[in-house]
Amino acid sequence: MDLSTKYMGLTLKNPLVVSSSPITMDLENLRACEAHGAGAVVLRSLYEEQISSELEGRLDQDDMYFWYPEAASHIKNISKGQTLRPYLSYIEKAKNEVSIPVIASINCYSPGGWISFAEEVQKAGADGIELNVSTHLLNEDAMEHGFLENTINSIISGVKKQVKIPVSVKIGSYFSNIIGAAKEMEQAGAVALVVFNRYYRPDIDIEQLEVTSESYLSAPEELSNSLRWVGVLSRHVKCDLAANTGIHGYEGVVKQLLAGAAVTQFCSVLYIQGLGYISTMLEDLKWWMKQKRFASLDDFRGMITDDKLNSEKFEQIHFIRKNARVFEKD
Ligand SMILES: Cc1cc2nc3c(=O)[nH]c(=O)nc-3n(C[C@H](O)[C@H](O)[C@H](O)COP(=O)(O)O)c2cc1C
């Protein structure tokens, strides 16, 4: 059975990629991810502010939202010390420790001076760079239409000029035209899109009258949003799609592959189940493929979106009509 897949021009032995989080910033964890069968790992992000802070000494001037609010003070604290050299030397060590692809990650929001650092990441041996550009969402109150997309495209082309290694882009789902934005990112040089970053989710405690946050870990019910857009995007872009958010077992992996994903990324499930769960997901995936008599991922990748009747369902919104029918019966 062949589980190998191409992602960002790299050959992965299977489509299970451990997504960016503190899990991948520990060499022992990296060894365990590989031993349990992961196809690749994405390192925790370095933030643009950290890079700028050390390159230009201007962290304290930045005042913006991060992908979760506590990150702002966290970044400011850890960036008081040196972070870039340790990140680069971690990439070097990671490459010595494991033979699966190691993808570095940078969380960024502007096409600024930090971009030159991408070359250092390449020199350190990273197999690719994932740019998390989803911090943009909450950033501006007077953003002109198109500003977000133009900025992201400038970041991608800026980074592409610095490096030869493949560059992917991790996006959030809040675009007015995801298909158009994705096509432009592809033209700007992104070889893969990670769909989607999971945002901090605010709630309100109506007793304490304050904002609280949901768990920072996802739930399997959250799969649907990225599933829909992997399905839609896979018919519109040529670049690879990494499905992310809400993948908590082989079922999520299978669904995303059927929708057209090149790989799946996940981390919440590993926080909940432990790193050994990667091998469970892998064995379950093999079991499912055997049952369905699929010998390779290409035997079923995109099968659902290639089918017209099924693919149309990714774009339909049925609830109102369905509810109407229920009332009609009464
Ligand atoms: C504790 C934690 C830390 C994370 N740190 C990063 C990060 O540094 N960079 C990044 O791009 N995503 C980060 N993420 C987001 C994950 O990579 C992933 O996109 C998100 O959790 C959705 O996947 P999941 O449903 O498998 O959790 C983090 C997630 C968690 C739970």
- Tell me the per-residue pLDDT of 30-56, one tens digit each, with 9 for 90 and over: 999 999 999 999 999 999 888 888 876
Q: What is the pLDDT of residue 282?
A: 98
Q: What is the pLDDT of residue 80?
A: 46
Q: What is the pLDDT of residue 209?
A: 95
pLDDT tens-digit readout, 173-219: 888 899 999 999 999 999 999 999 998 888 899 999 999 887 889 99
Q: How far away, in angstroms, is 267 Cα from ligand 1 center? A: 6
Q: What is the pLDDT of residue 65?
A: 42
pLDDT tens-digit readout, 120-178: 999 999 999 999 998 665 555 657 888 889 999 999 999 999 999 999 999 998 888 99
Ligand 1: residue whose CA is nearest its atom 1: 21
Half-sphere exposure of 141 (CA within 13 A, CB side): 1
Half-sphere exposure of 68 (CA within 13 A, CB side): 15
Mean pLDDT of the chain: 89
Element holding 106 (H helix, E strand): strand 102-107
pLDDT tens-digit readout, 277-293: 999 999 999 999 999 99
Distances 69 to 1, 200, 260, 298 between C-alpha atoms, Å = 44, 8, 33, 40
Q: What is the pLDDT of residue 312?
A: 80
Is the Cβ atom of 24 under 6 angstroms away from ligand 1? no
Q: How far away, in angstroms, is 202 Cα from ligand 1 center? A: 16
Is the Cβ atom of 13 under 6 angstroms away from ligand 1? no
Percent of the chain with pLDDT over 90: 71
Ligand 1: residue whose CA is nearest its atom 10: 20
Q: How far away, in angstroms, is 80 Cα from ligand 1 center? A: 23
Q: How far away, in angstroms, is 294 Cα from ligand 1 center? A: 31
Is the Cβ atom of 198 under 6 angstroms away from ligand 1? yes
Q: Count other C-beta atoms under 10 Å from residue 325's C-beta.
A: 9
pLDDT at 230 over 90: yes
Q: What is the pLDDT of residue 138?
A: 54
Query: Taking the domains of the chain in order of start, what are their residue ranges?
Result: 5-329
Q: How far away, in angstroms, is 170 Cα from ligand 1 center? A: 11
Topology adopted by domain 5-329: TIM Barrel (3.20.20)
Nearest to 303 by CA among 223, 205, 230: 230
Ligand 1: residue whose CA is nearest its atom 31: 217
Is the Cβ atom of 39 under 6 angstroms away from ligand 1? no
> Which atom of ligand 1 lies closest to the CA of 218?
25
Is the Cβ atom of 79 under 6 angstroms away from ligand 1? no
Q: What is the pLDDT of residue 316?
A: 74
Is the Cβ atom of 219 under 6 angstroms away from ligand 1? no
Q: Which of 16, 17, 18, 21 to mutate to test the pocket of ligand 1 (most atoms within 8 A of CB)?
A: 21
Q: How far away, in angstroms, is 194 Cα from ligand 1 center? A: 12
The predicted model gives 17-22 an average pLDDT of: 98
pLDDT tens-digit readout, 90-122: 999 999 999 999 999 999 989 988 999 999 999
Cis peptide before 196 (omega within 30 of 0): yes
